[in-house]
Chain A
Amino acid sequence: MTCEKNRNYCTAGVSESIGFLLIFTMVIAGIGLVTLYGYPMLIQQQTSADDQIMQKNMIVLQNDIKSLAYKTVPYKETSLKVGGGVLTIHNSAYTPASSEITIYTDSVNTYVNSFHSGDLLYTSVSAGTDISLQNGAVVMRRHDQPGSIVLAEPRWFYDDQTNTVVINLVNLTSKEILSRAGVGTVQMALGDVNYTKNDIAAGIPIYLDYSTYINSDGQDYSFAWDNYFINTMKMKEIVPSTSPFPLLPQMKRKTYELKMVDPLRPVTLVIKQYEVNIRSL
C-alpha cells in the first residue's frame, strides 16, 4: 500500500492531540446524551414499574379481602412495598366518601341505605394515578383524565336457576386514618358479617342508586362502576333518575335497574355486608 511506501505522506495532517480531543468530545457527548435522555427514561420506567407493582399489590389485597369475606378466614396479613406513592385507608366514616350505594324497590322497601364502603387508596403523584380498593373491587383512574376503570371486579352474581341476585358489600373500617409509604404490612381482620335475604315478588323492579360527591378531590370512580353495572351485571341505567330519595346538592347520582333473569318468577335478593377492619398499614 501507499502507506508502507511513503510514511510521511500517510501521516500528514494527523495529530495526536486533535485525535485525543475528538475521541474525548465523543465520550463526553455520549455521557451527556445518556444523562439527558437516558436518566429521565430510567425514572419513567421506575415510575411505571412502581405503578404496575402497586396494581398487582392491590389485587393481592383484594384477594385477602376475598379470603376474609367469602371464606370466613378471620385474619390476614400481607407485606408489601409501596413505591412511588402513598397507600392510605379512608374508613367508611370518612367524608367525602368516594361513593354511596342504595338498593331499593320503592321508597318504603329499602334494602341498603346509603352504604359507604370506605377505601384503601394508593395515590402516586409521579405516575399520575390513583388505585382504589373499594367495595371488593380494584378501580383505577388517571389524574389527568375524567374516566376510571375496573382492574378487578367485585363478586356480585346472578344465579339463573334459583333467580337469585347476590350483592356483596365490603365495608372497610379502621380506628383512624392510616397511611404508608415504603415497606409495610397490611393487617386485616374480619369484623361483623350480616346478610339479608329478601324475597321479592315477580315483576317488581329492583333499583340501585350509585351516588358520588361532586367535590371529592377527584375521587370519582363512577365511570368504572357504571361499566361494571352495565357491561358485567347487565343492569339498565334509568335516565333521568327516578329515585324517590332526596339528593344532596353536593352529590350526583345514577340510578340502575337490576337485570331480571326471569321476570315471571319471584326474585331472591341477597345482600351481604362484610366489615373488614384494617389494623395497620
Chain B
Amino acid sequence: MAGLKDDAQWIVLMGFIVSFSLFFIAIVLNQSTVVGQTTAEAVLEFPKNDLREVRDVVIQSAYMNDEGGLFNNKTNVQNDIRTLSLSRQNAVVSFSNTTSGSFTYGEIHYNNGVMAYSESWTSH
C-alpha cells in the first residue's frame, strides 16, 4: 500500500455528483413536456376572441328594432346569434336588453363548457 496517493478522489466524487444530477434533470425534463403542453392547451382553450365577437354583436343588436325586414329584424338577428354560437362555437349564449330613455342596458351570459362569463352592461 506504499505510495498510494488519494488526493484525486474528488474525480470519483464528481463523477457521482454529475451522474446523480443528470438523473434528476432527466426526471424534471420528462415532466416539463407534459406540464408545458397542458398549460399551452389551457391558454388556447380560453375563448377570448369568441367572447369578444359575441359581446360585440349582442351589443350591436341591442340597438336594432323589429321594424326591419327578415334580415334586419332584431328578433331574428338575436335568434341567429344564439343559434350560430351554439352551432359554430359550441357555446350557450343568453342575453337580454332594455332601452329606457337614452340608456340601453342588458345582460350577456356565455358558457362553452370550458368557462362561463356573465356581464351586465350599460350604454353611456
Contacts and interface: CB of A to CB of B under 8 A. Distances in A.
A270 B113 contact: no
A41 to B, nearest CB: 14
Interface in B1-28: 1-2
Contacts of A164: 92
B92 A4 contact: no
Contacts of A39: none
A56 B94 CA distance: 36
Contacts of A195: 86-87
Contacts of A72: 88
Chain B facing A: main interface SS:
mixed
B67 interface: no
B87 to A, nearest CB: 6
Given A3-B2, A166-B92, A157 B86 contact: no
Contacts, number: 50
B114 interface: yes
B90 A70 contact: yes
What bracket does the count of chain A residues touching chain B fall in? 20 to 34
Contacts of B41: 63
A98 interface: no
A161 B108 CA distance: 11
29 contacts: A3-B1, A3-B2, A56-B33, A56-B34, A56-B37, A59-B37, A60-B37, A69-B90, A70-B90, A70-B112, A71-B89, A155-B90, A155-B114, A156-B113, A157-B112, A157-B113, A159-B109, A161-B94, A161-B109, A161-B116, A161-B118, A162-B92, A162-B94, A164-B92, A166-B92, A168-B90, A195-B86, A195-B87, A270-B92
Given A56-B33, A60-B37, A162-B92, 18 more contacts: A1-B2, A4-B2, A56-B37, A70-B90, A70-B112, A155-B90, A157-B111, A157-B113, A159-B109, A161-B94, A161-B111, A162-B109, A162-B111, A164-B92, A166-B113, A195-B87, A270-B86, A272-B90
Interface of B: 1-2, 33-34, 37, 41, 86-90, 92, 94, 109, 111-114, 116, 118
